[in-house]
Structure formats: C-alpha cells, structure tokens
Structure 1
Amino acid sequence: MTGQNSNQAVQMSRRSLLVGSAAIGLSTAILPLVAIAADAVDAVSAAGAIRPFRADIPETVLIDLRQRLAVTRWPDDETVSDGSQGVQSAQLRELVNYWRTSYDWRKAEEKLNAAPQFLTNIDGLDIHFIHVRSKHENALPLIMTHGWPGSVFELLNVIGPLTDPTAHGGQAEDAFHLVLPSIPGFGFSQKPTSTGWNPQRIAAAWDMLMKRLGYNRYVSQGGDWGAIISDALGRQAPDGLLGIHVNRVERATTFPTAAAQALMNGTPAPDTLSPEEKMVFGEVRDFVNNGFGYAAIMNTRPETIGYGLADSPVGLAAWLYDKIADWVFTTGDPETALGKDAILDNITLYWLTNTGPSSGRIYWENAASGAKLTPINVPVGVTIFPGEVYKPPKKWLSKAYPHLVYYNQVSKGGHFAAWEEPELFSQEIRTAFKAMRP
C-alpha cells in the first residue's frame, strides 16, 4: 500500500462512523460535523471501494439518551395481569432503569469493533458489513442476514464457530468465510431515500457484494427478513450461488391451500390435516389473530409509527422488546434467553442510528413489491427451531423448495436462533451446507 493510500485508509476509518451518521442521522447535535465529514469522504470514495469502518458514537449522543430516559412520561399501567395488552409496565420500567443507570454502550462497541467492519456503496447506498475470513483452506463463503427487530448483534456469537470450527467442536472442512451485512435502513447501513429497496433488490445487492469481495461461489443464510432475502436470492439464482439455508419459512408459499382458506374464513382446521398439522394451524391462527398487529402497521403506515420511534427511546424499546419477548424460546422472558445487555445492545443500536422508522419500511416495500413467490430451484436447507412462530412439517415445503436437501427440527431455540443458541445454530449451518459445498 502506498503512503497516500495508507493515509486515505486511516482517514476513512476515522470518518466511517460520520459518513454513516450523515446517512442515518444520529443526532442533530453532531449533524454539522457529520456533513463536513461526509463531503470529505464523498470526494475520495471511488465506486466499488471497500472502506474500513469502526463504531465510535460521540459521548454527547449517549448523554442525550440517558437524559431522555430520565424524563420519560410513562403511560398508565396495563389493566390486565398478563401481556395480552402488550409489554407490561413493570417489565419495561425495570429494563429502562437498567438502561439509564447501568448499561454500557461502549462494551457493545467493543463487540462490534472486535470484528472487521466495512462500508461499500452498492446501487447508490452505503452498505455496512462485517467480513471475517477463515484461516482454514477451502472455507465456503457465506453471506448471513439478520432480521427485524434484530441487527448484526444477533450474529456476532456465531462468527467464531463458523469461521474457526476446530475451536468449537467442528472440523476444518466445516469452515466458512463469513459476510454479515446490515440491511439498508438498519444499523450502520445507509437509509434509502426513495422507494424500491425490497427483498429482491437487496438480494441482488448481496450478490454484488459477494462478487465484489471476490467470492464467485457462495451460499446464503437468514432468519426473519434474512430468510426472505435468502429466498429472493434463491429465486434469482445468480451464477455462483450454491444454495441457501433458512431458519424461518415463508407461510404464503408453504401453507396448504385448504388450511389457508380456513384461516381466511375463520373456520376450523381441515379434517385432512394430521394432529401435528392441526397444531401448526392453531399456532398460525393465534399469531394472525393476536400477534400480527406490528406487521400490519409497518406494512401500511411505517412513517406514522416512526415518529414515536424516532422521538422516544422508551417508545422504541417497547416496540422492539414486544416482539423480542414474544419470539424467544422462553416466551415472555427474553432476559433469560439473551440477557439485558444483549437486548439493550440491539435496542440502543436502533436508537443511536435512528433506524426505528427506516427499518420498518422494508415491510411496506415488501408489501408494495408484488413479487411472485415462485419455487426456489437452488438447493435449500431448513432448520425449524421450536420457539419459531411458524413450524411447518417437512412435507409442506416440497412445492416451495423442490430441491430441499436438508430439513431438521431441533429441541431448543426460538426466532432469534443464532442469538439464542449460537453453538446449536452453527452446527445446523455446518450440517445443512455439507451437501452444497463444491
């Protein structure tokens, strides 16, 4: 590297947060400085360049967060003794008090900065990603995508097991080169300022990212939106995509037609379903009737809910915590599954990057896209975790995934499988992709 290029890399590293801040609006208190830094980087960033990134939130922004938490205007307590009206007051007050008095964001930054992070511009947006190459020869390149209400924090604990399997009970031939991008509008990735960033476009961007990194053959994995993006990538089947693995299955492509009609009409499960299938049907009906409100809002009015998410850290925390609590294996008790600090790492990232509103727009984009969910003709692996919202039996998947090469139901873990059970999740990934390795 020349001296000029070396200096430029150092400057980019120091400015990388500020560039992201300009795009995602950390705080009006630092906007003037951000704008200057953004102009400077725009002048030196070539198309397709990969720039180093480090998280380094200004202390003034953290002080502002604690001050906002201290002056929260709380709603009345719920009028029921359970969570049927939403996040319970006592539970959230305890979390927020810990957030204000004891939580340390700098430790979260250390976790992020322990991994190599980068920015690169794809299709007009700066994409933030973690990229860890394995020391093992013939490691398989893997792009893995988080979901909502999560972030790359969900995936940090699987970096070691997947890139260095020999240190985590695996074999050298199980190794992966790992790429963990942040979805546009999430975390430190830039926010779209126009429409069109739906899962199909994101999938195409992920293929471009992998090719830009020199990975001409690779696999993709995801849960939640990461699964939808991986499915979209599988439908596009770009040259070099060897297969996908998901730990969340799209109901629209796999639910039996008669069951879907019964669900829509409010009638009982069809008699053609087995007892196991009727149980899955019942769980889906309960979710649609009692747990789908968040998605209905973001499918149709992400901007309306966004004002509260941008202005109130407690409002944001309640919105995210509600689904984290619902979807972990220890339903209603996410602290047992993840711990307060891990939950707050994720919530605080949303607050500091002001991505509560922008992250919700992927629901609107997906609903507006009208994408045709055709069968996926690349090899597919599926792992069903018992705390997942929708747990289809294997025979329901054949139409959506005609080349299903791996299916397994495991005994623990929920919707946030990599976050909750990193070792088990990593073993599933190793096993699922064995048949897809070149």
Structure 2
Amino acid sequence: MIFNRFEWALLVRILLLSASMLLCLYFIFYTERIASGVIISLLVTYQIYELYQYVLETNRKLTRFLEAVKYSDFTAGFNRDSKLGESFGNLNRMFNEVFDAFRKARAEKEEHWQYLKTVVQHVNVGLLSYDESGNIELVNNTAKKFLRTNQLNKIGDLARVNYDLYQIINQLPPGSKTLFKPSPDLHLSINATELRLRGNTYKLVSIQNILSELQQQEIEAWQNLTKVLRHEIMNSITPIASLAGTAIDIIHEDVVCDNGMVSFNQESYDDITMSLRTIENRTKGLVTFVEAYRNFTSIPQPEFERVRIDEIIKEVVQLVKVGIAKENARINVNINPPQLIVRIDPRLIEMVLINLLKNACEAMEEIESPVIDVTVYTDHEQRVFIEITDNGPGIEPEALEKIFIPFYTTKNHGSGIGLSLSQRIMQMHHGNLTARSVVGSGTTFTLQI
C-alpha cells in the first residue's frame, strides 16, 4: 500500500508539472504575457525541485536503512512525521519496526552468546581453539588451569610454558587423541578436531584430566588381579602346606631312630614319596604361573611396518590348520578389500590371531561340523576390523565380562593370559579387542586396528 500511495503521489506531481510547463509555454508564446510566464516558470522550477526531493528522499532512506543493516547499527531511527506525505510516514514506521526487530534479535543473540560463554568457562573440560595463523580464538578457565597459564594470545605462547604440551597440541592431527602427563596430579586426555567457519579453518582442542578415572580403573584392575593371584596361589600353597604337614606327621609317628640309624616301613616311604612328588608338581605349577605373569608384564614395544593383511591372515590360517584345528574344521576367509595395507607389528598381530584361532578350535572340540569365519573389512572412517567367529557353544554372560582379566580362565588347562595379552597388544597398536557371544550359537572376537 505504501508503494501504491507513493506511485499515485508521484503521478500527481508529474501531471501538475506537465500542466505547469504547458501553461508556461502558452503564456510566453501565445499570449505574450511574459510576466505570467516567468511566474509560472518559477512555479515549474519549484515543482521540479520538490519532485527531485520527493524521489531523492526515498533513496536516502533506503541508503540509510541498508547501511544500518550492513553495519548492524540499529540505534538510529526514522522520523515518523514526514513532511513529504503519509506514504513516507508509513515508510518511516516500517523501517523503525524492522530496526526494532533487528535490535530484539541482536539482544537475544547477545544473551545466548553470553550464556554459551558462561557455560564454556565453567565446564570441567578444557577448550582451546586457534586459527591457521596460531591466533587464539577461545580458551576457557579449565584449559588455562591445565596449561598452567592465565594469558594466551597465540598458540606459540604455550611453548614458553610447556614445550612438550605445545608440541603435542600443535602436531595432533584433527580427529585424533592422545594422552599426556605433565605433572603427577594431571593425566590429560587431549582430543583435536577441525572446524571451518566463514572460510577460515580453526583447530578445536579439548583437554580433560582423567587421573581420577585412571586411578579408579587401576584400583579395579588391581582388585581383579589380586583375586586371580590369590586364587591361583592358594590353590598351590594349600595342598603344599597340607602335604608337608602330613609328611612331618609320618616322620614323627612311623620313623624309628636307633643308634643314629633311621628306618621306616614301605607304606610310610610311599606316603612320604607321594607327598614330596605332589609338592614338587604343585611348586612347578606355581613357578609356571609366575613365569606367565612375568611374560604378561613384559610385552615388547611394537615395531610398526606396512604389510598386506591378507598375507598375514593366510599364513596364520595355514599354521592353525596344520597344527591345531581338527581335520574336519573349516576356516573361511573373507577380506575386503583383498589387498588391504595396514600399519602393524606383524609378529605381535600374528600372536593375537593364533591365540584367537586356537581358542576357537578348542571351543569347538565337541562340535560335529566346526566352522571358523575370518572376516576383514573397513568402516567409513577407514578403520580396519578383523572378526573371528566360531559356531561353538558360546560363552556365558558372567564369564564374558571376565575373559580379559589376567589369569582368568574357564579351561581346565590354561594360564588365563592369552586374551589379556592379546587385548594389551591391540591397545599398544592404538586399537582394541572385543568379544560378543550367544550361548549355543557361537562367539565373535573383533580386532580393531
């Protein structure tokens, strides 16, 4: 409606101007009334000026409005009382309403920003963000506490405080995480990601102190380990002590000392021999257990190299088929993509695969048609997974929760360190080993490299 009124007002002014010009020409050329023509010409000049101002006022208002929007300056307003007519008064009113809406939106945005800043400053996770030039865009109070500094303008300033931590943060690839212990009271988990805003690239780093969680897990691990150690040691020490006491009783009751000569009957001799033999066997078993524990705690560091995973899998499967698997056991291998290259320590990964395939074969000893499926694949993040699935009896849920605890075993003859050792090797490869099982349907172990 405003523009309709503007068009009518403009049309009326043009018609009046045209009529005045015609009238001016009529007086000058047809009636020779020069004075009247001059007066009317002055009127024409005024009408031209007024028309110019009328049109120009619209451009001025639009220019002021667009400049205010461009620079987010909504403090100024437009005079509601316009001398150029009602249409301009309505235009002023609409501009002012738009300004009011912008001011309200900016105020809400500012409130949300202040709220987010408050949240960011009070979270227990350190947040640090900087651009490609190293300029710090965001650093909260928790990050300052972890970084041991109160002032950071550039990420390079951190090098003066803790050079090692600076190197870790600056060189950590986006999408990766690492651990760092700058002091006894800090054990930092550092994660990095990359953001792209308004054509600029920013690196966002989150820093969290996981010391309490690690301590809790360490306590739980020691408790579980202590339970297993106590169980295994008591199983050996109790019969040793009992048999030693029995042997002493036999010596006291049945052995006869006569003039420095010691004699006892055949039955006592057999009992003492049996007791000592049993003590010897149990002692050897305890020594074997301690040796297994030492092997578990002294895993060599991986020596990474790029290898084809299909060659590793085929070599291990061939070895298992010849030495471990039953004659009727079938091992299926599916690798996608076929010539996948991975960066691993092949000797340690072979150890893990052999252990898992050996466990699968032993679990299917009572199965008529044992089948093991070995599947290798990658996910959308290009992570490599190796799944080993058997059709054995499965694992009870209670046992499934404990199978990775050192020295825990469900076998009659087993050290209980195979799966723990395998999981530790995968962790040293920055991967993981998990298991899932359905009783009566089989078990699947998954290696994530």
Task: Decide: shared fold, TM above 0.5.
Answer: no
- Larger strand fraction of residues: 2
Query: Smaller-chain TM-score range?
Result: under 0.3
Q: Which has the larger radius of gyration?
A: 2
Q: Relative contact order: is structure 1 or structure 2 higher (C-alpha 8 Å, sep ≥ 6)? A: 1
